[in-house]
Amino acid sequence: MSHLIAARELSDLLIDAPVRLLDVRWRLDRPEGRPAYLDGHLPGAVYVDFDNELADRGDPRRGRHPLPTREQLQAAARRWGLHPGDTVVAYDDVQSVAAARAWWLLTRSGVADVRVLDGGLRAWIAEELPLALGDVQPRRGTIELHPIPDGSRIGIDEAEAWPRSGVLLDVRAADRYRGDVEPLDPVAGHIPGAVNVPTTVHLDAGRFRSPEEIRATFAAAGAAEGTRVAAYCGSGVAASHTVLAGAIAGIDVVLYPGSWSEWSRRRRYAAIGQTPARVVLPV
């Protein structure tokens, strides 16, 4: 089953099949996406409150965007109108990073058919497809979510040990990986042994590169076939995007949800200013 869907493909699918559309507009400099959603969204799309439905921000030591509990996510999914067997398509308006978080949470919670709109809202608009105004409040769904299996995520101790037996990807921008800047977390740098592969290298003009190109980029980072791969970012959001890229390429990537925001609060040591920094670009 494909993890992505193109705008025209989605438009055709909406004619023949029930699809639950999730508008996951969120970004660090504009976390509240509802005003933009109300001004125009895919017809039938439900707005997803990222900070309150796709994260549990009670304890800052767990990072800036810890995973929600099963109960929290299930309550949100039912508010979105999800039922067993539904096809779900998530989208946002910035490189599919927030949508990938929704994809990761739902697929790991047992929802079988979850896809990300490749290119997001911009791809839909570029195809001159219609938008709707106002809010969508569906009837409450009946979906039953499963607990997220431990094998799909790691904690801080596993992240520390991971580079000794696998490849740990730091998917933030290169300047944050090197420790040149740190605008959000207490300590600059990266987890010792991590390799920098910014998640944006898996995109071309906002859409995902081909599986072959993504596999080549992973291989350049040392993640050849059979290698154990884990990914982290600032707060576990962009790393979900790298997990999605891996899935597109047939590579299993484990998520470290706490990411640098947890590490910098609990470990408070880092590899800083390595020369040259090991940064992998698309090949």
CATH of the domain at 206: 3.40.250.10
Domain containing 28: what range? Answer: 4-148
Indicate the residue type of 263. Answer: W
pLDDT value at position 209?
A: 98
Q: And the tokens for 116?
A: 């990300």
According to DSSP, residue 169 is labeled E
pLDDT value at position 276?
A: 35
What's the domain count of the chain?
Answer: 2
Catalytically annotated residue among 22, 194, 195, 233: 233
pLDDT value at position 145?
A: 98
Match 């990222």 to its residue by tokens: 50
According to DSSP, residue 204 is labeled E
pTM of the entire predicted model: 0.94
CA-CA-CA-CA torsion sign (127, 88, 79, 31): negative
Kindly state whether residues 73 and 144 are assigned to the same domain: yes
Q: And the tokens for 202?
A: 């898996």
Domain presence at residue 27: yes
211-220 vs 238-248: helix crossing angle, rounded to 10: 120
233 an active-site residue? yes
Q: What is the spatial distance between Cα 158 and Cα 115, in angstroms, rounded to a whole number?
A: 29
Domain presence at residue 277: no
On whether the CB atoms of residues 256 and 232 are closer than 8 A, the answer is yes
Among the candidates 110, 131, 148, a domain finishes at 148
pLDDT value at position 27?
A: 87
How would you write the pLDDT of the chain (283 residues) with one tens digit per residue?
A: 689 999 999 999 999 888 999 999 998 888 899 999 999 999 999 999 999 999 997 777 888 999 999 999 999 999 999 999 999 999 999 999 999 999 999 999 999 999 999 999 999 999 999 999 999 999 999 999 999 999 999 999 999 999 999 999 999 999 999 999 999 999 999 999 999 999 999 999 999 999 999 999 999 999 988 899 999 999 999 999 999 999 999 999 999 999 999 999 998 777 775 433 455 555 4
Terminal-to-terminal C-alpha distance of the chain = 26
Domain presence at residue 136: yes
pLDDT value at position 282?
A: 53
Kindly state whether residues 63 and 184 are assigned to the same domain: no
Kindly state whether residues 155 and 255 are assigned to the same domain: yes
Kindly state whether residues 170 and 195 are assigned to the same domain: yes
